[in-house]
Structure 1
Amino acid sequence: MSLINVTNLTFAYDGSYDNIFENASFQIDTDWKLGFTGRNGRGKTTFLNLLLGKYEYGGHISASVRFEYFPFHVENMENHTLDVINDINPDYVHWELLRELSLLKVSEDVLYRPYDSLSNGEQTKVMLAALFLKENSFLLIDEPTNHLDSHARKLVSDYLRAKSGFILVSHDRSFLDNCVDHILSINKSNIEIQRGNFSEWWENKQRQDNYELAENEKLRKDIKRLSDAATRTSNWSHEVEKTKNGTRNSGSKVDKGYVGHKAAKMMKRSKGIEQRQQSAIEDRSMLLKNIENSESLKISQLAYHKKQLAELENVSIYYGEKAVCSDISFTIEQGDRIALSGKNGSGKSSIIKLIFGEDIDYTGTFRKGSQLKISYVSQDTSHLRGNLTDYANSNGIDESLFKSILRKLDFSRVQFEKDISSFSGGQKKKVLIAKSLCEKAHLQIWDEPLNFIDVISRIQIEELLLEYSPTILFVEHDSEFCNHIATKIIEL
């Protein structure tokens, strides 16, 4: 066991007025399986890069281990996988590599194939196997689930559960719950570490948030009560003070000593109330600093004139001579929330593209309602660039509504001034989802919408879909999300 000590860590990017980290201090045990969570743009990948020594920073980071980052950069993708592994870890022992690949259910023959011929899932597993063979290393595993289907996520999660000595960035709740024993969270005002898995951390956070909200309401009422009492006391004191130079109603002289004593007592009482009020205000200022903005989202979907929107009957989709899926049959009716499920390469995205209207080679029968309006969220965000105002205008959506949705998804107003190409992966996905929520459509089609998106935003989107029940066809490998949302599951 050794420790990674972070002391007074302070960092801001060049040209930025805001610190991403400010005097953050904590310790990490290198034997931990550490889940790393926080909303998009809070600095998770930045912190990993600071550990790797990529940026200058204030404060101090000390460790007796080497840091290794996943995913590893592969210079020559056309090389055989064995050569790629040798570049990652020249000191590996071959039988140990075969053991790791076996645990990840990867066949030995992938080692003798070009690396770029491997599926994304196979590349992820090969890279993890190679990295866990490094000795005296602490692994920084940055969102490994984005190219894994549901089956592969469970397999990799089980693999990581048997390991130790890593930080894992992931927004998949089931994945984290299965394989971590501590949570490092970047909150709005601080960084903290808790023992346990994600669900335990989330339960603790909700309990703390609810306590702080209740305390805040109690103190708000106390401050108002004390403020009203202070006003009354001040008025009484003022009235008493006025009688010092006057006469009583009977016409007798006023006892100025008595009046002065009474005024002094009221002044003392007023000071006491003021001190209690100030104390309550200070107590209140300590609350709510880490309450996340998670306002409700809304969607206004167009009603279609028929119950049935689309139908596939014995559809097979081809790329050249190869069928990517065969004999697919299902209907989409108003109110359906349909999850397309299946391993990578089973044809999920191809079916989505067919329904959306792309030119796809297929056999069988496909019917789509006339004048059916579809809002599409693609997997790809590489085309996003320019500012948000121009993006809204070019897509014919209401700019105010678009930005309002992004604010609810934790965008700061400063973010509105930046080029979209500089956004994090999760922020780019939020741009696509916000655009979809602004569009007037009969059907939403979302292809892996949650890649890179933080947990709190995922929960917001879940609540939206459950409250408004729009008609939606989606592909998503987050099992929690699918279990909560889907009214039908189409297994390919």
Structure 2
Amino acid sequence: MIRLDSISKQHGKQILFLEASAAVNRGEKVGLVGPNGSGKTTIFRMITKEEAPDGGQVAIDRGVTVGYFSQDVGEMKGRSAVAETMDGAGPVSDVAAELRELEAALADPERMDEMESLIERFGQAQARYEELGGYALDAKAREILAGLGFSQAMMDGDVGALSGGWKMRVALARILLMRPDALLLDEPTNHLDIESIIWLEGYLKQYAGALVMTSHDREFMNRIVTKIIEIDGGELTSYSGNYEFYEQQRAINEQQAEAQYERQQAMLAKEMRFIERFKAQAAKAAQVQSRVKKLEKIDKVEPPKRRRTIRFEFKPAPRSGDDVARLSGVKKSYGGRSIYDGFDLLIRRRERWCVMGVNGAGKSTLLKLVAGASAPDAGGVNVGASVKLGYFAQHAMELLDPTRSVWESIVASFPQASIGSLRTLAGAFGFSGDDIDKPCRILSGGEKARLVLAIMLYDPPNFLVLDEPTNHLDMATKEMLVEALSSFEGTMLFVSHDRRFLAALSNRVLELLPDGPRVYGGGYLEYVAQSGHEAPGIRS
């Protein structure tokens, strides 16, 4: 239903695609993968006709409807989240707006003299709304918004009062409510918590239309897609299978390409040795010429492209005492709402606690209390002997000096360190070439997160307190971070919505429930097995 036929596309001096082809068939669930800047968003923009290829064509079957969710949600204010969600549903949203205006007019004492005509118009609008399936659509919009984490009050409140992250969820809900024939989702899990991610995963599995998506959430993509289209060096390559199969197949292909290249190089070397050895002997002249002609006709195998693997190795952290942090009888309230009431917790050396809980359960509050960023109303929070604490919070990215470049920020943090070690650090966290000269004020959210993590982990603490450290990180940086933290010998307390991160790193789980906290002795996988759910409130 969607075909990219021999497309070519260039942005400035960068060639994104060169006679590349791929297809998306009805009902397929496709993951679009490639390094940052390889052209994933450009593919979406060409399918939606926001951009045109320089060569080739993008063909869409007649009558196919396309819905596109991007990170640019536009302006939202003056309407409820439900109304904004229904806005993508066509004429029914206009009738819904008319009904709201008429309801306001009917309640206005100054318009009493118009009451008869208002009632008549209201009846007509109501009939039209029902005819278009408006009441069922309203219920469906609320179901989708609830799945994405909205309370009833948030659904009916002004969307303009919501944060950027919640507006993203409204934009996503609007596209899902459309139910187009082809759904294009560019990083749909950004700004979602684990409960909403799991709900969206279930929704997309049941979705009957075609799906093309990008995602930095490995587990999310792996569970949904049945086909991968990879962008690499201007080419599009399709793999039948999920993300895990794609990784395995790509590794096999790379090994085969390496072996083919080495075999040809060995053969060429052997032929060249023969030519060099006998080129001066008249008796062998015919054989030499034959071999020279043979080599001229051979199609040379290109050396295989080697992917740059990002790695970061911790320096050994100083050893802490056995008791790293203790909370005793902690009470904490916000307004009239009690978050903790007599809460006790002991975190011991080398334990890796992940904290689970629905929105508002107190996950970030707990991390702030332990890190000393917030004080309890009563009770005590004590950090143990020889503990060197590193705290990553979302607001930490706002503390970067906007006038400094990436490199200046790193050097200012470690003025005594060698240039070589700092360049290795920058490269491990994805800053190489001109990227290290970027001023902090123009960095994306992901780039800021990488810079803050790089600075925090270079001179490692022995107790890491991490609040959503993988937000905005691409898959390669996440993998590097998981690998690096796997060898970390200190203690960890963290919140994350990334199930790969949770499963790979935790060995203790603290679940914050309405009736009190519950502790699980194993890691996230044991928690799922014992509790029967992947996150609080989500049943398997």
Q: Which amino acid aligns with 2:392?
A: V
Q: Deviations over 1:374-419 (max 9, x none)?
A: 3333335456544222221333364543432343455441333434
Q: Deviations over 1:242-286 (max 9, x none)?
A: xxxxxxxxxxxxxxxxxx3x24256347637x829x958x22x1x
Distance in 2 between residues matched to 1:222 and 1:334, nearest whole Å? 57
Distance in 1 between residues matched to 2:135 and 2:441, nearest whole Å? 41
> Between the two proteins, what is the percent identity of the paired residues?
21
Q: Matched residue pairs, number?
A: 458
User: Against the structure 1 CA distance between its residues 102 and 438, is the aligned structure 2 distance closer, same or farther, given a 3 Å change threshold?
Assistant: same
Distance in 2 between residues matched to 1:308 and 1:299, nearest whole Å? 22
1:204 to 249, 252, 258: 249
Aligned counterparts, 1:301-312, within 5 A = 301-312=316-327
Structure 1 residue 452 displacement after superposition:
2.7
Aligned counterparts, 1:374-389, within 5 A = 374-380=389-395, 381=397, 385=402, 386-389=404-407
2:186 to 142, 154, 174: 142
Aligned counterparts, 1:227-306, within 5 A = 229-230=273-274, 234-235=276-277, 237-238=279-280, 260=282, 262-265=283-286, 267-268=288-289, 271=292, 275=295, 279=298, 282-283=300-301, 285=302, 287-289=303-305, 291-306=306-321
Q: Which residue of 1 aligns with 2:232?
A: 187
Give ranges in structure 2 of 5+ residues lacking alignment: 93-133, 513-540
Q: Which amino acid aligns with 1:95?
A: A
Aligned counterparts, 1:322-361, within 5 A = 322-361=337-376
Q: Which amino acid aligns with 1:375?
A: G
Q: Which residue of 2 aligns with 1:178?
A: 223
Structure 1 residue 366 displacement after superposition:
0.8
Q: Which residue of 1 aligns with 2:20?
A: 24
Q: Which residue of 1 aligns with 2:504?
A: 484
Distance in 1 between residues matched to 2:410 and 2:72, nearest whole Å? 36
User: Against the structure 1 CA distance between its residues 176 and 235, is the aligned structure 2 distance closer, same or farther, given a 3 Å change threshold?
Assistant: closer
Distance in 2 between residues matched to 1:336 and 1:110, nearest whole Å? 38
Structure 2 counterpart SS, 1:85: helix
Q: Which residue of 1 aligns with 2:58?
A: 61
CA RMSD of aligned residues (A): 3.4
Q: Deviations over 1:210-263 (max 9, x none)?
A: 333444454555555555x34xx524554x5xxxxxxxxxxxxxxxxxxx3x24
Please report the TM-score for the alignment, with normalisation by the length of structure 1.
0.80
User: Against the structure 1 CA distance between its residues 78 and 334, is the aligned structure 2 distance closer, same or farther, given a 3 Å change threshold?
Assistant: farther
2:330 to 315, 324, 328: 315
- Are 1:81 and 2:126 matched, yes or no? no
Q: Which amino acid aligns with 1:172?
A: D
**8 A Cα contact 2:4 2:22, kept in partner:** yes
Q: Deviations over 1:61-114 (max 9, x none)?
A: 343544432457253446322332344444343313413543654676654233
User: Against the structure 1 CA distance between its residues 68 and 332, is the aligned structure 2 distance closer, same or farther, given a 3 Å change threshold?
Assistant: same
**8 A Cα contact 2:7 2:21, kept in partner:** yes
User: Against the structure 1 CA distance between its residues 89 and 312, is the aligned structure 2 distance closer, same or farther, given a 3 Å change threshold?
Assistant: same
Q: Deviations over 1:157-182 (max 9, x none)?
A: 00111112332221222212332232
Distance in 1 between residues matched to 2:214 and 2:398, nearest whole Å? 21
Q: Which residue of 2 aligns with 1:444?
A: 464
Q: Structure 1 stretch 81-90 or stretch 474-483: which is displaced more? A: 81-90
Q: Which residue of 2 aligns with 1:45?
A: 41
Distance in 2 between residues matched to 1:122 and 1:416, nearest whole Å? 32
Q: Structure 1 stretch 16-25 or stretch 481-490: which is displaced more? A: 16-25
Q: Which amino acid aligns with 2:157?
A: R
Q: Which residue of 1 aligns with 2:107?
A: none
Q: Deviations over 1:275-306 (max 9, x none)?
A: 29x958x22x1x522x4211432011421342
Distance in 1 between residues matched to 2:434 and 2:158, nearest whole Å? 44
Please report the TM-score for the alignment, with normalisation by the length of structure 2.
0.73
User: Against the structure 1 CA distance between its residues 484 and 264, is the aligned structure 2 distance closer, same or farther, given a 3 Å change threshold?
Assistant: same
Q: Which residue of 2 aligns with 1:463?
A: 483
